């Protein structure tokens, strides 16, 4: 992994999709029905009352971002008229939260959820819980806190002693005493204690079986009648495992993803959009990470992570160039190819052909470093092309040329 960057290939899910997955593994969740119009929302509320008996409803915007409540995307409706009114306000709005771009994200659907904060024998209590990989230790970790419903980063900063962790050996799995530790540290007893042990056990089972990168439940709620359930669910699935979960792959909502990344994926390119000024086109993820560090050391910032794979022909190179150049912040493109199976001279010819096809569309300098099979021939092809392409063979030479064109 690069010192400067960590690229995680993952698929984010909506809250209602995450809850469906959790429920399938026996995790108790706040029940709800998704709706795309105000009229559908009213029907969803009516169905919810039939199924659960709830008389109040929570209208929740479904976008891939946290902090929805702060932006006005989560509201309580006390009757069907309010469900219709609130849903019509939220659906179609651009919801701005601390985790969205400045312009916000358009809301295409809402989740009509049951009211779970009903009165009873005890006070409801909110907790925080997440499951993720502790990369440093090579173990899965349950992170949890008594301070639910809050920004966990703020809790970590101001009251770190209120955050607990359980590290789980992947060979042994979650042991019964660890699930009990969670319930104990959260201060639960009696029926609520037993319910929390069951909840944690089922949640970890779901995390492993779904090949998830992250489960974040904020809040986990102890209801007034001592049930434990997930009120919210942030679930991200490892992209590399989707071949094992065809049903999960169908849950992808490309409206929530950056259009440029969706286009690259359709073209078979591994592309992640970043905030820098130097576009990267590399073959192999490891070399791509090293190239990003190289750009950083040369005084630039990577504008993307792009792995063209082993087939760098003219058509593929042209597609990659066009995707990179859609970013208006790109001031230069660095092509860094190691020719192993694919010969460098073929890649060089592909770059030249792509450049000629694109013509005036290329308005930024291009630095090309080709190393490996027929690298010298490749350099000659580029140098003799008469195009405004800077060729390099050594890593440092490429870095110097990046620094030069950015001046």
Tokens found for residue 360: 């005036």
**Quick check: 249 and 21 in contact, CB under 8 A?**
no
**CA–CA separation, 90 and 111 (whole Å):** 11
DSSP letter at 213?
E
**CA–CA separation, 57 and 114 (whole Å):** 5
Number of H helices, E strands in the chain: 13, 19
**CA–CA separation, 87 and 75 (whole Å):** 9
Residues 6+ apart with CB under 8 A from 156: 163
Best CA proximity match to 110, nearest among 36, 168, 187: 36
> What does 115-154 look like in DSSP terms, one character per residue?
------SS--EEEEEEEEEETTTTEEEEEEES-TTS-HHH
- What are the phi and psi torsion angles at 56 (to 5°)? -110, 155
End-to-end CA distance of the chain: 29
The residues carrying an active-site annotation are 128, 216
H or E element in which residue 304 lies: strand 304-307
**CA–CA separation, 268 and 172 (whole Å):** 37
């Amino acid at each position: 992994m690069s010192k400067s960057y960590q690229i995680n290939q993952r698929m984010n899910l909506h809250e209602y999709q995450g809850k469906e997955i959790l429920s399938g593994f026996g995790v108790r969740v706040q029940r709800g029905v998704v709706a795309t119009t105000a009229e559908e929302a009213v029907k969803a509320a009516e169905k919810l009352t039939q199924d659960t008996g709830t008389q109040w409803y929570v209208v929740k915007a479904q976008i891939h971002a946290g902090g929805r409540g702060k932006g006005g995307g989560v509201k309580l409706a006390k009757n069907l008229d309010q469900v219709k009114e609130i849903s019509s306000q939220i659906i179609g709005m651009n919801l701005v939260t601390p985790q969205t771009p400045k312009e916000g994200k358009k809301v295409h659907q809402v989740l009509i959820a049951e009211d779970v904060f009903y009165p009873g024998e005890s006070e409801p209590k909110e907790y925080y819980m997440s499951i993720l990989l502790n990369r440093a230790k090579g173990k899965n970790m349950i992170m949890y806190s008594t301070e639910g419903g809050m920004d966990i980063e703020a809790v970590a900063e101001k009251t770190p002693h209120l955050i607990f962790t359980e590290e789980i050996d992947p060979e042994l799995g979650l042991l019964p005493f660890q699930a009990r530790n969670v319930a104990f540290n959260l201060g639960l007893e009696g029926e609520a204690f037993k319910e929390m042990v069951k909840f944690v056990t089922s949640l970890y089972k779901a995390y492993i079986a779904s090949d998830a990168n992250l489960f974040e439940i904020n809040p986990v709620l102890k209801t007034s009648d001592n049930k434990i359930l997930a009120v919210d669910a942030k679930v991200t699935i490892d992209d590399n495992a989707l071949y094992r979960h065809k049903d999960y792959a169908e849950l992808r909502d490309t409206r929530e993803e950056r259009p440029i990344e969706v286009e690259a994926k359709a073209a078979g390119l591994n592309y992640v959009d970043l905030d820098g000024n130097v576009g990267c086109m590399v073959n192999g993820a490891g070399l791509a990470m090293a190239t990003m560090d190289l750009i950083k050391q040369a005084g630039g910032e990577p504008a993307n992570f792009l792995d063209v794979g082993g087939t760098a022909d003219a058509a593929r190179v042209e597609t990659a160039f066009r995707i990179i150049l859609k970013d208006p912040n790109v001031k230069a493109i660095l092509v860094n190819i190691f020719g192993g199976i694919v010969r460098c001279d073929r890649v060089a010819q592909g770059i030249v052909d792509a450049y000629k096809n694109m013509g005036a569309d290329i308005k930024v300098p291009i630095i090309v470093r080709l190393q490996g099979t027929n690298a010298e021939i490749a350099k000659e092809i580029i140098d003799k092309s008469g195009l405004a392409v800077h060729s390099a063979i050594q890593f440092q030479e490429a870095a110097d040329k990046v620094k030069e064109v950015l001046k």
